[in-house]
Chains A and B, each alone.
Chain A
């Protein structure tokens, strides 16, 4: 367990940016800013749709830490588990779960909640719930 600092101001500023980007995508492309859905659109069969918009969005995401480093003069600091087996299982669950449930933290948690979609409220409550339980079991039952 790595303790992290409580950052209400930075987190609010970051959250505002996530909101602004989501509104932009709706204004210009008429699309929900759901990352798992956008990733799904990068692959065939494309459903008669041009994947360039989705690809450009993903390139923007990938470029973000480079701009962050250029602007702040330091690389973004993060702590990622290097347990490859754990990360492989987690990735599968996140990818399949998001696609099966038609959304992830951004699609259901931000965009769907903002549209007052009951489906998204339910989905968000469920993934927060299983997220809490998973971390509890991992850290306090099995021990981390």
Chain B
């Protein structure tokens, strides 16, 4: 999604001259064209993310729309208090962009992964978290973020490639219908279910903006009809989709509902590999996912 992100920055720079681009010293072979386009409004804030976020908040206070870019944990968890105090409490349109949410940085290791970002940020006041599903979601999500006068976080990853048609970017999207179970997921990891044969009989939904609210009636009806709910996220289930969805549907359920919550549990073996390796270790992909679904359904 990084290519689509850079292209979108260049596209919207013309229509939104108040945009300022700030990188935490990252972007080699990715942001050179953005740097050229933004000129004096492209700032490399160095490896100093706390300062970068507060500088962004102050720029937003002065009418700019700052886009702050880094690897996901470095732009979310490192400057967390700056995000809370300076951007969120003051409700300023600071746009955080984290590349490689989840296990996106694979073999780079645990310090470069982020399986806590959605949960950590969605609970901050005024913050809205955008999680594109496909690569083509990126431009649409950025367009919505530009129209959103609040602090935002954009979680970039490898875009999902699935055989089903995907509706334009929005908080809730139904990917396909089904009767044997209802899947609700966030982010590109949902493709791992979409592409399984077993998915033919499943209803699949993707949620792409947090905090969630107003769960669609059609989704609740599906859960009540199938009585089997699967959640999938490349993120900790604690404070993740698993918890927040459970809360929001709790009062709308009829009868007993079985739930299979698939989430990122960290590093069960203590070993590292590419993104697919970590997904498989956590039953978010590969044979483990298939077996979990088969025994649940």
Q: Do A and B come from one complex?
A: no
Chain B residues within CB distance 8 Å of chain A: none
Chain A residues within CB distance 8 Å of chain B: none
